[in-house]
Amino acid sequence: MRLGIRAIDAALVVWALAWLVAAAITYSSLKELESGGRAVISAGHGLRETSAGLNRAGRGLHETAAALEAVGSLPFVNGNPGRAVEQTADDVEQFAVRVRQTGRDARVTGAAARDSAGTLAIVLGLAVALAPTLPIILFYLLLRPLVAKQLRRQ
């Protein structure tokens, strides 16, 4: 069976298309990581709101502790019942600070992941598409006239 130049052309086109499909899959898969970065940013915003709520709870506990100090001055109440509430309020405020810092870190990390995923999707998509196809296609286009001439001789 005689192999014609058109068959070689078709095989090269199929080969190049296969790599282009692989590049598209690589690109779209890596683009999905961008949405993960956006989700982390959103979680960071949620942590900031949680921190604000914890701060409000801490202020409320401080007010409650102040009111309980007045109760502690009554002759029939032993000790200061507001002291434990005051300690809890301080703990809640410290926890709010840690939550706020974690939220800030999550937003920064999420933004970096989102940006990196977008860049990586483009770079790797192009690399998968062009690295295996471009050199071969250019080389083949240079040699095609010689290949066609050799096939005509057979």
Domain range for 93: 5-153
Please write the tens of the pLDDT for every residue from 13-33.
Answer: 999 999 999 999 999 999 888
pLDDT in tens, 119-136: 999 999 999 999 999 999
């007010």: which residue's tokens?
63
**How many CB atoms neighbour CB 142 within 10 A?**
9
35-73, pLDDT tens digit by residue? 889 999 999 999 999 999 999 999 999 999 888 877 766
**What is the domain count for the chain?**
1
- Decide: pTM greater than 0.75: no
What pLDDT does 80 receive?
73
